[in-house]
């Protein structure tokens, strides 16, 4: 269950999924802010970076583990890309529709932009995991 391939792939996925969103949302804050109806984010002083890191670590481990089982030991970049798209469809796009239908915190363009961003993130993350898995297996 804990092979060298899974550990290294999880580490790379963790770094990618932990660092990249911070810079993206920091850079696009003004663009996204116009679509916020109710600000539900925590102030920076209340942000629990440790819990965030644990959550992203669990996400990265599950992402890597499921990809390696799904790919059947054939770690092509194309498979990683498609895997990331499927994860985005399952998690981001479908949940975006559900949240938009049930919550009043954001306007529709926010969900669309956020879904496009996370679809790209998961697709790139899938390619990264495929590359690291191939090199370390």
Q: Which two tokens stand for residue 80?
A: 């990683």
pTM metric for this prediction: 0.88
Looking at residue 32, what is its pLDDT? 80
Among the listed ranges 41-45, 78-82, 110-114, which one has the minimum average pLDDT value? 41-45
SS3 of residue 73 by DSSP: coil
Q: What is the CA radius of gyration of the chain?
A: 16
Mean of the per-residue pLDDT values of the chain: 91
Any idea what the Cα angle at residue 10 is, between residues 5 and 12, rounded to 5°? 100
Kindly list the domain boundaries of the chain, sorted by start residue: 4-136
Looking at residue 1, what is its pLDDT? 65
Task: Name the nearest CA neighbour of 120 among 85, 91, 90, 77.
Answer: 85
């Amino acid at each position: 269950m804990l092979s060298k391939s899974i550990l290294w792939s999880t580490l790379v996925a963790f770094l990618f999924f932990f660092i990249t969103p911070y810079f993206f949302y920091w850079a696009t804050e003004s663009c996204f802010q116009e679509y916020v109806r109710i600000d539900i984010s925590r102030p920076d002083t209340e942000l629990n970076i440790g819990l965030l890191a644990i959550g992203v670590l669990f996400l990265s481990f599950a992402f890597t583990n499921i990809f390696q089982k799904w790919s059947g030991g054939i770690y092509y970049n194309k498979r990683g890309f498609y895997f990331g798209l499927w994860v985005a469809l399952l998690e981001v796009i479908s949940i975006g529709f559900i949240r938009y239908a049930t919550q009043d915190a954001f306007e529709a363009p926010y969900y669309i932009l956020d879904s496009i961003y996370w679809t790209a993130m998961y697709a790139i993350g899938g390619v990264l995991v495929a590359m690291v898995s191939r090199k370390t297996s």
